[in-house]
Amino acid sequence: MKEYDILVIGAGAGTKLVTPPSQIGKRVAVFEKETPGGTCLNRGCIPSKMVIYPSELLRLRKESRRFGIYDAEAPTFDVNSIFKRVNATVKSDSNSIPVAYDKNPNIHYYPKKVWFQASKILTDGEETYTAKHIFVVTGTRPYIPNIPGLKDTPFWTSREALSPDVFPKSLLILGAGFISLELGAAYQAYGCQVTGLTRGEVLKHADGEIKKELNAHLPFPIHTDFTFSSVEYKNKVFRVHGKNKEGNEVFLEAEQLLVATGIKPNTEELHLENTKIQVNAEGYILVDDTLQTTEPGVYAFGDVIGRYFFRHSANYEGEYLFEHLFGQKSQKPILYPPMPEAIFTYPQIASVGKTEEELQSENIPYYKGVNPYSSSATGMARLSHSGFVKVLVSKETEQLLGAHIIGEEAANLLHQILMGMYLKATLDDYLGMIYIHPAISEITRNAFRKVREQKLKEGKL
């Protein structure tokens, strides 16, 4: 049996517990059955944003006509070369990870699948490994719905959609969440005819007013409340059969089909039944407030624990574990700061904290300030016809409870609000600072001014 100080299963966010411990003398073994870097680097955050950004440039060019800027000729671009460049860059970054590990005598990189043979013992079928600390960071994979005929077709998941052999002229997307909205908008901008289909609603977890605004400005048509009957692939064409929200039979065809209907945890192949590690009904690993599983000495973080599904949240958890176990030996539980999220679709969306619906269901008193992009100097300059900043402020503490933005630069605009939430800033703090005129951040200021106006109407000022 090979003994180490640390075993890490998963070379995505798991890298947070590889190099840092090795630099303080810990012997680390890291196992990865696919390409190092995980979902984010290889088939998620990074390649998708590299694909999305050029598509935004194309869309911006089309919208420049609103400003009286006309170009008689259509832009020339090679979409296949864009994808090739993206994948070459990602592959280079991924390949560099084991090279860096090989230069570190305290790190052993194993490009293989491992599972639990027993408590605190991993095996690859030939050799066994053990360590004082084991970290499970195996992430998630696409969930494939049980629609008759679907699994017999060459459908795409986000993996294939980010590295297509041939760019399709038409695309059907099952699902209406992050992946659907981001990749669908990009493909549409590149000239593909995109249509979405979902059993429920678009972006079901979002704040209600965000969903309403998004539905009014969808980057491609999406059929909601769709009942799927079957999927078939014949003569290089996908055909989806179902019923629309009115109950009418519908047949939709396209050259390609992307399934983006959710995710499921990568826990089945770990053989957790050989350990004390427990999972919930959906298969996500249960952890305590220090991210330790029900098996002492075995920890899990990232998507596989089902708390948050962002690389930035997984990085935060990994950094916490390093400090908790190998840093200052803090016994404090993990405390998450406000957790932001963004969807890089068109229009862009960013959120943090509670939605208005959550505040209402929890009977939390709040003030609301909503300011459209158009009601600002920057909005006037950009001829903004959609988008807004929405802030929800506690009536008791006047601290921010939630913020939701839809429109240009939403992800960047959110960070000012996020900093304030982290520092427990009050309404007066947000209104007391000076905002550059006419920067886009004035839209945020105006939203807080709307809160002040609401307080005035209620006689609280």
Catalytic residue positions, numbered: 437
Tokens standing for residue 352: 């943090």
User: Does 379 count as an annotated binding residue?
Assistant: no
Q: Specify the DSSP class assigned to residue 436.
A: P
Distances 348 to 203, 210, 370, 378, 425 between C-alpha atoms, Å: 13, 11, 17, 17, 25
What value, to the nearest 5°, has the Cα angle with vertex 382 and ends 379 and 384?
60
Sign for the pseudo-dihedral over CA of 397, 399, 402, 405 = positive
User: Does 29 count as an annotated binding residue?
Assistant: no
Distances 417 to 10, 338, 364, 378, 409 between C-alpha atoms, Å: 33, 10, 20, 18, 13
User: Does 263 count as an annotated binding residue?
Assistant: no
Find out whether the peptide bond into 438 is cis, omega within 30 degrees of 0.
Answer: yes
Residue position matching structure tokens 């992009």? 373
DSSP-assigned letters across all residues of 203-254: TTTS-HHHHHHHHHT-SS-EE-SPEEEEEEEETTEEEEEEE-TTS-EEEEEE
User: Does 176 count as an annotated binding residue?
Assistant: yes
User: Does 178 count as an annotated binding residue?
Assistant: yes
In angstroms, rounded to a whole number, what is the distance separating the alpha carbons of residues 405 and 424? 20
Q: Which residues contact 99 (CB under 8 A, 6 or more apart)?
A: none
In angstroms, rounded to a whole number, what is the distance separating the alpha carbons of residues 47 and 55? 13
Residue numbers in the known binding site are 49, 175-182, 262, 303
Residue numbers in the known binding site for FAD are 49, 303
Residue numbers in the known binding site for NAD(+) are 175-182, 262
